[in-house]
Amino acid sequence: MYKKKLRGMYISRKALKDHFDPCKVPWNTYLLCKLQWGKNGTPWIHWVRNDPNRYHAEVYFLQKIFKMRRSNSYVNCSITWYLSRSPCAKCCYEILDFLNKHSNVNIEIYIAQLYKIKKEENCQGLRNLVSLAEVTIAVMEIEDYIYCWKTFIQGDVDAGSWTEGFQSEITKNRLKLKEILETF
């Protein structure tokens, strides 16, 4: 039986298009990551997809991938995540716990869609994350989509017009995120 790949260095064009389109509601969460140790370290890229029966992409990254790539506890580490959906409440608390244990790490999170924001616990989780100086959360902009296409797809592929029609959803999501983060 064919099993879909759950992680790797490069993502398929289809997965990027299907799961990062802000106009669609993706079933799975994809996490695209750039990790860099120190200012002059070589950036390392990777992606992870959640396995609904076993783990969320964010938690898998923190517990398995980061541990595997860990360098020196005294060197600052910058992590940039591009997520198809914002972290759920449980993942937000896992990220907070991780950052409390790793004071040398900061995380920038760019999201394509907001995940179940009608649930107050998810909104509160996002607010708790941005209350830390080590965390930035923003909605993906067109430039971020183009960066992901060029960085996480293998080979020299033209991004074409796959982001056509995204801007209105990006604007809506940006306003919703702003409202969530400003609500106390």
Any catalytic annotation for residue 164? Answer: no
Q: What residue type is 77 in one-letter code?
A: C
Measured CA to CA, the distance from residue 143 to residue 127 in angstroms comes to: 25
Name the nearest CA neighbour of 142 among 158, 126, 162.
162
β-pairing, 44-49 with 7-8? antiparallel
Dig out the tokens for 70 from the structure.
């860990």
Residue 83's φ and ψ, nearest 5 degrees, are: -110, 140
Active-site hit among 58, 134, 164, 182: 58
Q: Which residues are catalytic?
A: 58
